[in-house]
Amino acid sequence: MEQAIDWLGRQDVVEGERIGLLGASRGREPAILASTLIPKVRAVVGYTTCGVVWGGIGEGDASAWTWRGQAFPWLRFMETEEQGERFEEAKRTGQPYFDAPSFDHSLQMQSDRVSEATIPAERSQAAFLLIGNPGDGVRPSRDLSQITVDRLQAHGHAGPFRFLAYEDGGHMLIPYPFYPTTMRQFYHPTVGVWEGLGSTAEGAARAAEDSWPQVLEFIHTELGD
């Protein structure tokens, strides 16, 4: 990430000291993390945001993100026996699997480690526009986004930050307006299962239509002339 931002800043068409990052789904973690480490990052948009660091997806037991060779503190993905059985059934049948309950369970089981794994967003110089929806089938993104909002509020973050939530928005892999939202699942090849996005096509379309102009306005305000 550091090398990519340095390269971007050297381009003639880029204002090198004012970089914005947009992260959706798993990309929201490195977007927030990068803003705490690289002062050039002045604006962050996070779709279905997460305020803590999780382990990598698939086999293995390690943090998903590192900085200069050092791993960030992280939480393990954990599931109950019933959730594990539902996952295996979803793999056999091709029915969508909803991960969000397992993340809720993981937070409960590791409540004593959540603070350590929370991204220190208050160290960032960036402005934030975060989106986290109830009914997100992949992550409990409203609650996970609230962790970042609470952190910013508790530490008196000097920059502006906003939090949007859409009751029927689901997991927003496609945040752009007028993009088809009828596919409410996607295949995750790493774990071999169809992930359910949650909520409805109509709700996802309304969320995208409403949030997109606010994202553009935010970027223009924070990064424009």
Instruction: Provide the H-helix boundaries in the chain.
Output: 2-9, 28-37, 81-93, 100-109, 114-117, 141-154, 201-223
What is the topology classification, in CATH, of domain 25-56+64-223? Rossmann fold (3.40.50)
Q: Which residues lie across from 46 on neighbouring strands?
A: 23, 130
**Domain residue spans in the chain?**
25-56+64-223
- The predicted pLDDT at position 177 comes to 85
Q: Which one, of 125, 129, 119, lies nearest residue 67 by Cα?
A: 119
User: What is the Cβ-side half-sphere exposure of residue 60, based on CA atoms within 13 angstroms?
Assistant: 10
Q: For 132-178, write each residue's pLDDT tens digit.
A: 999 999 999 999 999 999 999 999 998 999 999 999 999 998 778 88
For 107-136, what is the mean pLDDT? 96
d(CA 160, CA 153): 10
Q: For 200-213, write each residue's pLDDT tens digit.
A: 999 999 999 999 99
d(CA 87, CA 81): 10
Please say if the pLDDT value at position 63 is more than 70. Answer: yes
Q: Which one, of 18, 66, 5, 56, lies nearest residue 224 by Cα?
A: 18
Give the pTM. Answer: 0.92
